Amino acid sequence: MNLDLHQHPVAHQQNIDLSQLPANELIRRGSLRMEKCELKEAGRYFEMALEQSKSKHDLRGISDSLAHLLRYSSEIGNEVALQRWANELEIVLAHKSDKDSNQMHSPNVWYCRGIVAFRNAQFKKAQILFHRFWRELEKEENEGNVYAEPLLRLKAQAFLALSLVAIAQGKSKRARYFGEVILKYAEVERPRGILTSTYLMLLRLAERASDTALAKHWLQKAFAESVTEHNWHHYLYVLYGYARVYRIEQDFVQARFYLDLLEKAVVQDEFKNLRLEIAEERVKLNLNRVDLEIDLNRSVLRTREGEINLRRQHLLIEIIHQLAVAHEHRDDEASKLGLSKQEIIEKVWKENYNPEAHDGKLYYNINRIRKLLETDQKKPVYLLNWRQGYRLAPELKVRIIQGEK
């Protein structure tokens, strides 16, 4: 990548010669750009940090810069760059480090290599690398070395990484234990970025247990923390979490709302990985989708287009309800087509059918329903005429909520 520091927008605005900044400051600024979702800028900062470290023969700065470039390339889904930085890092790691703090490998190397292995579903390898990251941190602590980031924050980061591996390996109790350990420290010290990541990890555990109330609890905490820190990268994953939880709750309107919102925010090429996850979530949503949901508890209809409130309109929701009951029992040949006018009057009005007395009021209420349901009443897609009565369109997926949800 051709980096013209004099044309760098941040350098121009602040009148700062970025080439004079130390590598750890460039990495810090790059990490902040990641939080702000300015991913291209983040990549530039990390590459500048690498060039700065190479010019000063700073092995630690080189390895730390490469580690961030590895994570950055993995995040944006750039496989070519990922392989390039991975190869360069292996060459650097082959260089024997010594006691000089500038000639020691950064512990962050092992963490970022673990993240790459984790994204490639190499969970055992990731676990080994994260354990190595932990051991290197302990070594630094014992030797009293000064590191750019607080050591406790990095240890929390190691625990968080190990918890993600545990979830991937189906070891929920271990992941929960790691999460509890992190929160005891992080909710007091509030290290930047750790709390939101931990809440999102605990969200995954709640999702696995189908505990949507607990999942929303962690989402609310993650939302508040990401907004407080102005960490918009984490905020995107909070939106993604809401989409998943609402799908599990089968609130498909809300799930689609969050996916649509998220999709509008990640149009740049740098969000390749997240866009792939959104596409996979849409597939799951479509497999579980409901075209028409009849919530008798709240007197609400939910369609592909939105929500319709039918409170105080008992007749309308009961007509739809009875047609949906017939629709659900389509294995019965006699009922798979719909209900006759006589059947609707008997089931809804609880009266013996009399065409002169009942046809007018039935037509009137069917038209009211269609005005609410159909986008184009001349081409109905929900409520269809059928011989001597009505039916729901045969291809509709219908769900009735009654009693406890």
Whether 349 shows a pLDDT value over 60: the answer reads yes
- H-helix or E-strand spanning residue 332: none
Please enumerate, as own/partner, the contacts of 352-357 that have beta carbons within 8 Å and a separation of 24 or more.
none
Whether 149 shows a pLDDT value over 70: the answer reads no
Identity of the amino acid at 294? I
d(C-alpha 75, C-alpha 79), whole Å? 10
**Largest Cα span, the chain:** 99
Q: If you search the block for the tokens 């287009």, which residue do you land on?
A: 305
Identity of the amino acid at 72? Y
What is the average per-residue pLDDT within 56-78?
Answer: 88
What is the average per-residue pLDDT within 80-109?
Answer: 77
The pair of structure tokens assigned to 401 is 């909520």
Q: If you search the block for the tokens 């769900």, which residue do you land on?
A: 399
Please say whether the beta carbons of 321 and 400 come within 8 A: yes
What does the angle CA 361 – CA 364 – CA 369 come to, to the nearest 5 degrees? 125
Q: What are the tens digits of pLDDT across the range 53-63?
A: 999 888 888 98
Q: What is the pLDDT of residue 9?
A: 43
d(C-alpha 314, C-alpha 170), whole Å? 47
Identity of the amino acid at 3? L
Whether 150 shows a pLDDT value over 80: the answer reads no
CATH of span 1-97: 1.25.40
d(C-alpha 266, C-alpha 253), whole Å? 20
Q: What are the tens digits of pLDDT across the range 301-343?
A: 988 888 899 988 999 999 999 999 998 875 555 445 789 999 9
Distances (CA, A) of 1 to 14, 40, 43: 23, 11, 10
Whether 115 shows a pLDDT value over 60: the answer reads yes
d(C-alpha 248, C-alpha 263), whole Å? 19
Q: If you search the block for the tokens 């949507």, which residue do you land on?
A: 212
Q: What are the tens digits of pLDDT across the range 201-232?
A: 999 999 999 999 999 999 999 999 999 999 99
In this structure, the chain runs to a length of 405
Least confident of 97-101, 136-140, 270-274: 97-101
**Secondary structure letter of residue 57 according to DSSP:** T
Looking at the chain, the whole-number percentage of residues with pLDDT higher than 90 is 53
Q: What are the tens digits of pLDDT across the range 285-299?
A: 877 778 898 999 889
Q: What are the tens digits of pLDDT across the range 227-267?
A: 999 999 999 999 999 999 999 987 887 898 999 999 999 98
- What average pLDDT does the structure give for the chain? 86
Q: If you search the block for the tokens 């800028």, which residue do you land on?
A: 41
Q: What is the pLDDT of residue 92?
A: 83
The pair of structure tokens assigned to 201 is 């990890």
Q: Which of 13-17, 299-303, 401-405 has the highest mean pLDDT?
A: 299-303
Domain limits, CATH 1.10.10.10, in the chain: 293-401
Whether 4 shows a pLDDT value over 60: the answer reads no
Least confident of 10-19, 30-39, 144-153, 249-258: 10-19
d(C-alpha 102, C-alpha 179), whole Å? 33
- What CATH topology corresponds to 293-401? Arc Repressor Mutant, subunit A (1.10.10)
d(C-alpha 115, C-alpha 119), whole Å? 6
Q: What are the tens digits of pLDDT across the range 21-45?
A: 899 899 999 999 999 999 999 999 9
Please say whether the beta carbons of 30 and 8 come within 8 A: no
